[in-house]
A and B are shown apart, each in its own frame.
Chain A
Amino acid sequence: MHSNRNLILSRVGLVALFAVIFAILLAIRLYHVQIVDHAEYLSKAQKRYTAEKTTRGKRGGVYDCNGHMLVGNKPCETLIVDPALITTPEQAAAIADIICRELSVSREHVDRQINTKTRTRTNKDGSTRTVNIRYAVIARHVDTDIAKKIKQSVREIKPRVPLAAVYGEEDYLRYYPKGHLLANVLGFTSFSQGEDVAVSGVESSFNRQMMPETGKVRYERARDGGQLPYGMREITQEEKDGFNIYLTIDEVLQSIVEEELDKMMAEYHPKGAYAIMADPKTGNILALAQRPTFNPNDRSVEAMRNKEAWRLLFIEDAFEPGSIMKALSISIALDEGVVTPESKFDAEGGTWFYRGKPLSDSSRRDVITVATAIQKSSNIVTAKIGLLMGEEMLYNGLKKFGIGEKTGIPLKPESRGIFPAISKWDGLSITRVPIGYSVAVTPMQMVRAYCALADNGNLRKLRLFDRAENPETGEWIENPLEPPVQIFKRPTTSQEMKTMLKAVTKEGGTARQAGIPGYDVAGKTGTSRKVVKGRYAPGKYYSSFIGFVPADDPAFVLMVTLDEPPSGRIYGGLIAGPTFRKIGERALSYLDIKPDPELMEKRK
């Protein structure tokens, strides 16, 4: 009896012991599952109901010097349908109706995307299989409001269509809020394989800095693969936005320049035109416009057909500058002490033969001073000064002005122009180069050289890029001003040159139309024949005016050039001068540079 009881008790104890051991093992296992390996099991479970997708940060924007947006990213959506969830022809028709009502897409395209439910795929072994289509793009870059409206309308269809049948994926459209303003400089991007590909302009030159970095997002998905609208969304790899680029351009000045250029185009109908405004004290480009141009927001085949409009004519194309070169040539002669403003030369009555080739002035004159030669734009006197200087002095002097060199502007492709070495000069070059022939420059090179004239001989690199901003940290990366190179030996050269150039826009000068009431304008006109396929094209010219104002303390250098002005109005002073004046007046007013009361009084 006793032994039986003990046996029972020992058995009970044994069972209890096993139960306790089992419970302890279970607890250990539970501890491992719930605590030690929690993360692993959670991720395993998540893998079954989550999916991962690659995301892309935003491409950096482009801003003017005051932070006004010139290029940005417009939030939009890519409209997707899941044909497998659209079960009845009535539903398909209703969805297509809604989409075609809101978007300008063809009904045929929408019907095809909605109703094509399967696709045949070829396996590696050559056999084929049919797969369901679960993702069909209806339209890209759909405005967010429109996409919202479409999705809302689809929800109201009876019989009900699943939410995931029509949905939008977040996207960004490269957008140029100012339309054609600065379009050539900003350039544009194309859209290829889900990302923006830089094509031209700033977009291309600063592509590396503006390019975003990709990230990864894990999200809870429904059984059909679609993202649950209120499900978990975890960023597993942070995407990074591209850097924002700030230019030296001032949007207001740019608008003024473009508006006046448009008026000039409408009045004279030249083939093309450009205007460049720069600050001579810093080398900052303040405005930069050209015609023809384009609107980068309009990517229709028709709008993008004119490839001339995309090109950066002011750095890609070199032209014989004509008389605007005289200011540079004569300043070299002044600086080297070859002539003074009062030196007298025989203008040969308007026609002079050198080496059997004639050189003419626009009017007959006999003996005139260097100052008058600049004011009246005498080819003969300037050519004679060139002969006095000699090839080497002239060549080296123009090289110091940056002729034949790149300007430092961060746009591509930039031409160096054509400035042949002395060994390649012919006998006439010494009389033609000083008057802007036998040499080709880009408008940007000319602006840089005049900036040096305006700033007492300080030659600077031109700046278009001011600074970059890291949007993640708010950190700024500055583009520091480089110290200028002094190109004049004599401190008086610049002032003497300014005095002579002021006379150009005054009574008796070739560009009275460029004069701005109340301000001293120093400048030079230029009219040169256009070379087409290696020959001077009859009746085709470049007409230019380049100057700075106020002459003694310049706020800006401005160059206005017309490519193929109308016959009868080919002279730079007549056709480019008035546009210079109009731009100048408005720009001075904006920059709050008050007119000189003395000059205002004189005018009265």
Chain B
Amino acid sequence: MATIKARSVGTQRRRSGAAESAVVGFWVRLGVLVQIIALLAGVFCLFSYRVSLGDKLTQTARETARVKQSIHELDREIEALRIKKEVYSDWEYISRQIEHYNLGLRPAGPTQRYSLILKNPSPRLHRVETAAR
């Protein structure tokens, strides 16, 4: 009887030891799983970040293209305005307008002319003059 009792105690002890080790094993596995999941989540986050970065790059490129297009359109407008300015500064056009509005302008005599020296000429004019020299 005593032997049976002793065996059952031993079995109980073994059982409780096995249960304990199963619990420990479960937590160990869970820990590993959590680590794997965390790793995967990290990788996923990294991917997502890289993908969103790519998307942002594409969006930025698109925005750049749009700005470039606006600049291009402005350049065309500037060019059209420059052509208009050149048409209006043509002497033939000016003399027609003088006649049209009956302004009665006449050329200045030699003693009526003075040369003005600009202290701050426009950069473009300066460049043209420098090149002309």
Taking A38-B54, A232-B62, A233-B65 as contacts, is the C-beta distance between A75 and B80 under 8 angstroms? yes
Check: B27 CB closer than 8 A to any chain A CB. no
- The distance from the CB of A463 to the nearest CB of chain B, in whole angstroms, is 12
Taking A23-B40, A66-B128 as contacts, is the C-beta distance between A177 and B83 under 8 angstroms? yes
Check: B101 CB closer than 8 A to any chain A CB. no
- The distance from the CB of A389 to the nearest CB of chain B, in whole angstroms, is 41
Taking A255-B92, A594-B110 as contacts, is the C-beta distance between A34 and B50 under 8 angstroms? yes
Q: Is B61's CB under 8 angstroms from A72's CB?
A: no
Q: Is A72's CB under 8 angstroms from B65's CB?
A: no
Q: Is A233's CB under 8 angstroms from B68's CB?
A: yes
Chain A residue at minimum C-beta to C-beta distance from B80:
A75
Chain B residue at minimum C-beta to C-beta distance from A177:
B86
- The distance from the CB of A556 to the nearest CB of chain B, in whole angstroms, is 16
- B69 contact set on A, CB distance < 8 A: 233
Taking A144-B76, A255-B92 as contacts, is the C-beta distance between A69 and B62 under 8 angstroms? no
Q: Is A69's CB under 8 angstroms from B90's CB?
A: no
- B66 contact set on A, CB distance < 8 A: 230, 233
Q: Is B113's CB under 8 angstroms from A255's CB?
A: no
- What separation, in Å, do the CA atoms of A170 and B79 have in the docked complex? 13
- What separation, in Å, do the CA atoms of A68 and B87 have in the docked complex? 11
- B82 contact set on A, CB distance < 8 A: 69, 72
Check: A65 CB closer than 8 A to any chain B CB. yes
- A234 contact set on B, CB distance < 8 A: 61, 65
- B87 contact set on A, CB distance < 8 A: 177-178
Q: Is B90's CB under 8 angstroms from A144's CB?
A: no
Contacting residue for A179 out of B36, B47, B90, B132, CB 8 A: B90
Count of chain A residues near B, Cβ 8 A: 48
Chain A residue at minimum C-beta to C-beta distance from B87:
A177
Q: Which of B41-69 contact A (CB under 8 A)?
A: 43-44, 47, 50-51, 54, 58, 61-62, 65-66, 68-69
Check: B125 CB closer than 8 A to any chain A CB. yes
Contacting residue for B91 out of A144, A233, A252, A588, CB 8 A: A252
- What separation, in Å, do the CA atoms of A233 and B72 have in the docked complex? 12
- B107 contact set on A, CB distance < 8 A: 586, 589
- The distance from the CB of A8 to the nearest CB of chain B, in whole angstroms, is 13
Check: B3 CB closer than 8 A to any chain A CB. no
Check: B6 CB closer than 8 A to any chain A CB. no
- B86 contact set on A, CB distance < 8 A: 68-69, 72, 177-178
- What separation, in Å, do the CA atoms of A34 and B40 have in the docked complex? 16
- Give 1 or 0 for each of A13-56: 1 = CB within 8 Å of chain B CB: 00010001001000100110011001000100000000000000
Chain A residue at minimum C-beta to C-beta distance from B33:
A16
- What separation, in Å, do the CA atoms of A73 and B89 have in the docked complex? 17
Q: Is B131's CB under 8 angstroms from A476's CB?
A: yes
- The distance from the CB of A565 to the nearest CB of chain B, in whole angstroms, is 25
- The distance from the CB of B88 to the nearest CB of chain A, in whole angstroms, is 9
- What separation, in Å, do the CA atoms of A35 and B47 have in the docked complex? 8
Q: Is A27's CB under 8 angstroms from B92's CB?
A: no
Q: Is B47's CB under 8 angstroms from A34's CB?
A: yes
Q: Is A259's CB under 8 angstroms from B40's CB?
A: no
- What separation, in Å, do the CA atoms of A72 and B79 have in the docked complex? 9
- A179 contact set on B, CB distance < 8 A: 90, 92
Check: A595 CB closer than 8 A to any chain B CB. yes
- What separation, in Å, do the CA atoms of A252 and B95 have in the docked complex? 13
- What separation, in Å, do the CA atoms of A251 and B94 have in the docked complex? 14
Name the 6 nearest CB pairs between A and B, nearest first.
Answer: A255-B91, A177-B86, A75-B76, A67-B128, A69-B86, A233-B65
> Which residues of A line the B interface, CB within 8 A?
16, 20, 23, 27, 30-31, 34-35, 38, 42, 65-69, 72-75, 144, 170, 175, 177-179, 181, 230, 232-235, 246, 251-252, 255-256, 259, 466-467, 476, 478, 518, 586, 588-589, 592, 594-595
Given contacts A27-B40, A177-B87, 17 further A-B contacts (CB under 8 A): A23-B40, A27-B43, A27-B47, A34-B51, A35-B47, A65-B132, A67-B128, A75-B77, A75-B80, A177-B90, A178-B90, A178-B92, A235-B68, A246-B131, A256-B91, A478-B131, A589-B107
* 17 sample A-B contacts, Cβ–Cβ < 8 Å, listed by A number: A23-B40, A31-B47, A34-B54, A38-B54, A67-B124, A72-B86, A74-B79, A74-B80, A75-B80, A170-B76, A232-B65, A233-B66, A233-B69, A252-B91, A255-B92, A256-B91, A589-B109
> Which residues of B line the A interface, CB within 8 A?
33, 36, 40, 43-44, 47, 50-51, 54, 58, 61-62, 65-66, 68-69, 76-77, 79-80, 82-83, 86-87, 89-92, 95, 107-110, 113, 115, 124-125, 128, 131-132
